[in-house]
Amino acid sequence: MALLHRAELRPSKLDLLAAWLPGRPWFAGTAGAEVTRVAAYRFDDPAGEVGIETILVRAGDGPVLQVPLTYRAAPLPGADRWLVGSTEHSVLGPRWVYDACGDPVYPPALAAAVLADAGQAEEYFEVDGRREVRPASMTLTGSRAGAAPAFDLVDEVVDGDPTLIRAGGAELALVRRPASADAPTPSRLTGSWAGLAEPVLLAYAR
């Protein structure tokens, strides 16, 4: 479960992405255009220390882009390549924001969603001692291929579309421009949100 805070971020997540996205090899859209949120989903960090959120956005009139992010209370050593930027959270203080593909907490969570249909984390606020659940903005459907391979120790991440995360002979592929398409394997994660004609491919494993 993901505890949310009614807080202000300076700069906002979308402001960070507006500056960062045009430099990605898989970027599509208009550099400098407003970045808008389409939908989002979260995974749980078992240790409860790192926020894991995937945001689907558009830059101007460009296609939908899938951007998994992690939020940390301190810089992640050796991960400068994956740093999106830093922001000030009005409740939690300074937060370092990373492209999650380069953060070790993310691959195991993605593998569980793709291969074991682990789903997304339920998001909630604490309001006067009560838990107020925020409705999900999209739905996820994974496969049931059995136990997910260990992605705790990643060998290589290749940034592109798809972005490839390799570990111990297994590979996760994160689709950066989700579209209605068949995956090359039956082990896949699809998603849908309001107004979408049919589910889109988000990730797959092989």
> Whole-number mean pLDDT of the chain?
89
State the pTM of this model: 0.90
Which pLDDT belongs to residue 133? 67
Q: Is the pLDDT of residue 93 over 90?
A: no
Determine the pLDDT at residue 4.
Answer: 47
CA 180 vs. chain centroid, Å, equals 19
Query: 94: pLDDT confidence band, cut at 50, 70 and 90?
Result: very high
Dump the DSSP string for 66-135: EEEEEEESS--TT-GGGEEEEEEETTTEEEEEEEGGGSTTHHHHHHHHHHH----PPEEEEETTEEEEEP
Distance from C-alpha of 145 to C-alpha of 113, rounded to nearest angstrom:
11
What's the CA dihedral at 82, 87, 90, 95 to 10 degrees?
30
Query: Using an 8 Å Cβ cutoff, are 87 and 9 in contact?
Result: yes
- How would residue 24 be classed by pLDDT, with cut points 50, 70 and 90? very high
User: How high is the pLDDT of residue 6?
Assistant: 53
What are the residue boundaries of the structural domains of the chain, listed by start?
Answer: 2-205
Between 74 and 146, name the one with better pLDDT: 74
